[in-house]
Chains A and B, each alone.
Chain A
Amino acid sequence: MKATGILLLFFFCYTGRWCQEYSFIKIPAGTYEIGLKGSVENPWRRITVKAFSISATELTNAEFERFVVATGYQTEAERFKDALVFEPGLEEFRWLDDSTAYWRYPNGITRGGITGKMNHPVTGISFTDALAYCKWAGVRLPTLEEWEIAARAGSATKYFKGVTAENISRYANIWQGRDHLQADSTDGFMYTAPVARFQPNPWGLYDVFGNVFEFCSGSLPRDKGRRVAHARGGSWWCSKNACNFFNAVDIGSVNPHASFSNLGFRVVKDAEGR
């Protein structure tokens, strides 16, 4: 009887985790310090923002699937067959184009799909796809500034409190190999990890560093008027030797129509509703 009870409890906890909506962390209105002194791209500054709520985790495959099932939405990778995928053996910063890849097979059909990975962040989607999701779900992407405020969690450095370059692997799913010629699963994951598997920041946000680069809204001077998507926080692909953007200062860029297996997003809603 006791055992059945425990099993039932376990079952409800387990299914609850899969079914739950993303939980939000409320960030109060206020003035926050962001940027880095001397940086051209992201100079140190104080900014005042309205209150907003940001999801504690990156958007999962399960959540994206609900959108697709409800709307029949086809991602850009499905329409244009132009997703970029990774496999060990590639030189630094090289990706492969794979016409079979899209969010259900983020690294192409031959490298496996998302079965059993519904609690991993959705990838293989473009910035444009992320906007489509947000429109349907009544949420939005964080601005570049909102993302940084939430990621820093009050820290004045480029990492949130407790993180250093040496211990970041406790908090972030990143690449720990010297290069990408050999597979690296030192932390248990070569590609994405389930959301919230690593330790959160002091405000309760998981995976702000590593796992997937997170799309944000906003523009930078270096865009020179072009429409460019920006993503922050680094990803499972990023190592200290290549693309060490797993911090709260650096900002990556990508074409708004590009779909990569290390790009995803988390969502925001204004504190008083949408």
Chain B
Amino acid sequence: MKKSIFLLLCSACFLFVQAQDNSYQQPSKAATAYREFRQKTTVPPYGLENVKKQIAAIKDKPGESGDEGISALTDAVYQSLSLREKFTYAMIHPEMYAQNCDINMIHPNEHKEIFGYLVSEGDEETWSSRQLDFLRSNRDSVMALIRESANRSRRMGVNYKNALVEMDAWEMIPYLIDFYTRDKKDKDLLTVLMLLMKRGKFIPFTRSASYKKLYGIDGNHETALEYNSANEALTIARARAFYKERKPAGAQ
């Protein structure tokens, strides 16, 4: 009897694995809409007209036709941009080639999950070294611009969120928590909190079950936590603790 149950269990497990390989559950409309929301970027308003004009004036590389290749502003033109314009340029014109190979299928309940990583923006380019250097070496100004722009548009595109992670913008944690709790729509803001804690190697987080699931040996860009009030509260509480630990003594 015991043997039969064991065999039945094995068969069920096998069939489940096979089924996973053969198909996946169609996402709901809400899940599909939430994926689109996650992929949206924000176009900063700062010097936008001039930046667009400079991008349009970039000469294609010899042999290229039309807009196929990625072309960057020359050093001279790039250096002539103001700080705000450089920010806008980075946000709308990543200038290095990338491979898009983390385009994960939409999860059936994507709108009810907290992911370990931000979603791919969907295209085939990323920030170049000079653009990353700009973001990192002007992090205070860039954080201020992101706050200002997000307050104005009441949303934060995936490009802004990626910039915060790249800049290790732990100082933004209180703002991100406030921004998230306004409507609790953008659960990727919780993802940013976790990525900042991961980057900061915050021990209470790196030793947690959430960390193990998202970033452990089997974690990948598809792994997510269930979105529920307990996971939400825990993420926020840990992020607050991380901020408190990292903040210099006496700072506001």
Residues of chain A whose beta carbon lies under 8 Å from any beta carbon of chain B? 36-41, 44, 76, 79-80, 82, 84, 93-95, 97, 156-159, 178, 213, 222, 227-228, 231, 234, 238, 240-245, 250, 252-258, 260, 262-263
Contacts and interface: CB of A to CB of B under 8 A. Distances in A.
A37 B24 contact: yes
Contacts of A242: 102, 220-221
Interface in B162-214: none
A71 to B, nearest CB: 15
Interface of B: 18, 21-27, 61-64, 68-70, 96-103, 105-106, 122, 124-126, 128-129, 217-221
A234 to B, nearest CB: 8
A241 B219 CA distance: 6
Given A41-B103, A79-B62, 15 more contacts: A36-B24, A37-B22, A38-B24, A39-B105, A76-B63, A93-B98, A93-B99, A95-B99, A234-B101, A252-B101, A253-B99, A253-B101, A257-B69, A257-B70, A263-B99
Contacts of B129: 97
B100 to A, nearest CB: 4
Interface of A is mostly: loop
A97 B220 CA distance: 25
A244 B220 contact: yes
Given A157-B22, A240-B220, A40 B105 contact: yes
A227 B65 CA distance: 11
Contact of A255 (B101, B103, B124): B124
Given A37-B23, A41-B103, A240-B220, A79 B98 contact: no
A38 B23 contact: yes
A260 B97 CA distance: 9
B23 A254 contact: no
Given A97-B129, A222-B122, A257-B64, A252 B100 contact: yes
Nearest to A222: B122
A43 B205 CA distance: 38
A101 to B, nearest CB: 12
B105 A253 contact: no
Contact of B99 (A38, A76, A256, A260): A260
B21 A157 contact: yes
B96 A254 contact: no
Contacts of A93: 98-99, 102, 126
A157 B21 CA distance: 5
B75 to A, nearest CB: 14
Contacts of A258: 70, 97, 99, 124
Contacts of B103: 41, 222, 250, 252-253
A122 B157 CA distance: 38
Given A240-B220, A256-B68, A97 B124 contact: no
Contacts of A36: 22-24
